[in-house]
Amino acid sequence: MKIIIVGGGFGGLKLARKLSNKKGVEILLIDKFNYHQFQPLFYQVATAGLDASNIAFPLRKAFQHSKNIRIRVAELKEIKASENKIITGAGEERYDILVLATGADTNFFGNQQLEEHAFPMKSTVEALQLRFKLVQNFEDALTATNEEDLQRLMNIVVVGGGPTGVEISGALAEMKRYVLPKNYPELDLSKMNIFLLEGTQKTLAHMSEFSSDRSRKYLEKLGVKVMTGSHVKDYDGKNIQLQDGQTIPSATVLWAAGIKGNIPGGIDKSLIARGNRIKVDRQNKVIGSQNIYAIGDLAYMETPKYPQGHPQVATTAIQQAKLLAENLLKINADKTDLEEYEYKDKGTMATVGKNLAVVDIPKPKLHFGGWLAWMIWMSLHLMLILGVKNKFFVFLNWLYNYISYDQSLLIFKEFKNQKK
């Protein structure tokens, strides 16, 4: 059985590892990058807590001992389902089974100005672009002569009160409090504002009331200006306009307000559900297809427990990949006892800052925050990072930052394709 997996994120990587060295199975793993990116820590790359290499792991290294897995760096252009082949930037490839694990990208909801000027954070490259933009703003603020221009450079706006928005807002607030006074003693940092805009009435809306309330208190304690019920109308690179008429001058806007699935060409538009996700059955097979599957953020599966689809988190992708691997091996062995997927909620967590995090555990039903939640968050993320070397360097960076309240990676460098 020749299986093509498109995407080396949490789902695609887990599926390939589960099928590694299995008899009767040949795997081709395709990704536009030659490395796996640990997305939950992008915000730490953006705020100079970690280097990009700490959270990236070479795909070829992950499968050095796999005899049945090949890697290709290419971008999927189109699926030709009737011919059982795909078109990539590197040519054509035929398959018996195709698994789409292309994940999701930033959703600007059709606003071209926002897309042009605001900063997304769905890759290490985008995280680095944001880091370099932040540092350049501080350098420019040192020589700003106009008060309005200075304030614009000192205002940072984060749009979206989910985990990404909450985590990077907290990291920026700690940078303002502990790092920038040492690096930029000439700047009046009392003028620096970090705004977190959220359209609903609470941060971390998908978590418990306890975690939502606690996260807001933590953010406000760190000095973040949390503005719930705030809807962005537009952003021209200088001023962000809200639906209620308010305007916030800012040279840097981070967009963390939505994601959309990366759907390749060749997918029937009738199969696209809300969030730009592909409709699949309980075995992750694309509706109406015989041999095409979708997993993770790209898959839209309705179940009695989750009639609006499953949460777009790493746990979902990993669980679906595990079950799909088992089912594909059964199919290859001509077995018919295939299992159906249901999300097993193991809990949700988010960190806000040093010793500040929130955790929800469904069974037993527990909600707690503070230092213990922060330690659990760090331990779990450290376990999930690929590679002993990466784990070691991430741990060292965290330890150094914890003791010194410093970020040695806060350096500026010219970056191609950086947004103006």
Tens of pLDDT, residues 241-262 = 999 999 999 999 999 998 999 9
Query: Which pLDDT score, from 0 to 100, does residue 381 have?
Result: 92
The CA-to-CA distance between both ends of the chain, in Å, stands at 48
Q: Distance between CA atoms of 335 and 330, rounded to whole angstroms?
A: 5
How much is the mean pLDDT over the chain?
93
| Cβ atoms of residues 12 and 31 within 8 Å | yes
In angstroms, the Cα distances linking 70 to 20, 79, 120, 301, 368 are 10, 20, 31, 29, 44
Query: 53 or 157: which carries more pLDDT confidence?
Result: 157
Superfamily of domain 2-106+259-332: FAD/NAD(P)-binding domain (3.50.50.60)
Rounded average pLDDT over 127-135: 93
Instruction: Summarize pLDDT for 328-349 with one digit per residue, the tens.
Output: 999 999 999 999 999 999 899 9
Q: What is the DSSP string of 104-161?
A: EEE--TT-HHHHHHSB--SSHHHHHHHHHHHHHHHHHHHH--SHHHHHHHHEEEEE--
Instruction: Summarize pLDDT for 183-198 with one digit per residue, the tens.
Output: 999 999 999 999 999 9
Domain with CATH 3.50.50.60 in the chain: 2-106+259-332
Q: Distance between CA atoms of 189 and 171, rounded to whole angstroms?
A: 16
Q: Residue 147, Cβ neighbours under 10 Å: how many?
A: 9
CATH of domain 112-257: 3.50.50.100
Query: Which pLDDT score, from 0 to 100, does residue 417 have?
Result: 47
Instruction: Summarize pLDDT for 380-416 with one digit per residue, the tens.
Output: 999 989 888 899 989 988 888 888 777 655 555 544 4
Query: Which pLDDT score, from 0 to 100, does residue 402 have?
Result: 82
pLDDT at 50 over 60: yes
Residue 233 banded pLDDT, cuts 50, 70, 90: very high
Lowest-pLDDT range of 145-149, 168-172, 405-409: 405-409
- pTM comes to 0.91
Domain with CATH 3.50.50.100 in the chain: 112-257
Q: Residue 35, Cβ neighbours under 10 Å: how many?
A: 19
Structure tokens at 295: 């997993």
Query: Which pLDDT score, from 0 to 100, does residue 420 have?
Result: 46
